[in-house]
């Protein structure tokens, strides 16, 4: 019986090492209907794969005229925001998605509404954010 317990514990420990971590995301005051999640998966060479999926995401132009894209940023305390990528937006499904590898372990993930997919700095139109902390 003791051997089974040790084996079961070892199996659980090994399988849980690479399980993705999930973080819930809710919309900001600008877009309160938005919700979704961020999945963090350990990949090669100590990298993490950050996958964001947001639901109930209106077209950017519905938030403010002239906006065309949603952009993912990583913000480390004491540093400028780092633009990652524009979200792939499905207007019919009202879903936005992005996947980005990173070596960061502690940062704030932000999604902003923008007038271009490659802004130099994030706009004031915060759509969603989430603190990420991984070991």
pLDDT score of 94: 97
pLDDT score of 4: 43
Asked if residue 130 has pLDDT above 50, the reply is yes
Q: How confident is the model at residue 9 (pLDDT cuts 50, 70, 90)?
A: very low
Residue of 27, 70, 65, 35 lying closest to 53 (CA atoms) = 35
pLDDT digits (tens, 9 = 90+) for 40-58: 999 988 899 999 999 999 9
Task: Supply the pTM of this predicted model.
Answer: 0.84
Asked if residue 39 has pLDDT above 90, the reply is yes
DSSP, collapsed to helix, strand or coil, labels residue 16 as helix
Residue of 113, 111, 104 lying closest to 132 (CA atoms) = 104
CA distance linking residue 122 with residue 112, whole number of Å: 6
pLDDT digits (tens, 9 = 90+) for 94-127: 999 999 999 999 999 999 999 999 999 999 999 9
**Rg of the chain on CA atoms, in Å:** 18
Asked if residue 13 has pLDDT above 60, the reply is no
Average predicted confidence (pLDDT) for the chain: 88
- Domains for the chain: give ranges and CATH numbers: 20-133 (2.60.40.200)
Outline where DSSP puts E strands in the chain: 21-26, 35-42, 48-55, 69-75, 82-86, 88-90, 95-102, 106-114, 126-133
Asked if residue 14 has pLDDT above 80, the reply is no
Q: Determine contact, residues 125/60, Cβ cutoff 8 Å.
A: no
Q: How confident is the model at residue 135 (pLDDT cuts 50, 70, 90)?
A: confident
CA distance linking residue 97 with residue 32, whole number of Å: 18
Asked if residue 1 has pLDDT above 70, the reply is no
């Amino acid at each position: 019986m003791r051997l089974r317990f040790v084996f079961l514990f070892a199996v659980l420990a090994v399988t849980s090492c690479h399980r993705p971590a999930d973080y819930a995301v809710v919309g900001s005051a600008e877009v309160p209907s938005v919700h979704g999640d961020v999945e963090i998966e350990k990949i090669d060479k100590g990298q993490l794969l950050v996958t964001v999926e947001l639901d109930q995401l209106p077209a950017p132009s519905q938030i403010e005229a002239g906006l065309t894209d949603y952009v993912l940023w990583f913000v480390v305390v004491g540093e400028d925001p780092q633009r990652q990528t524009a979200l792939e937006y499905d207007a019919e499904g009202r879903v936005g998605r992005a996947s980005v590898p990173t070596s960061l372990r502690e940062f704030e993930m932000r999604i902003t509404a923008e007038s271009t997919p490659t802004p130099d700095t994030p706009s004031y139109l915060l759509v969603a954010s989430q603190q990420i902390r991984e070991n």
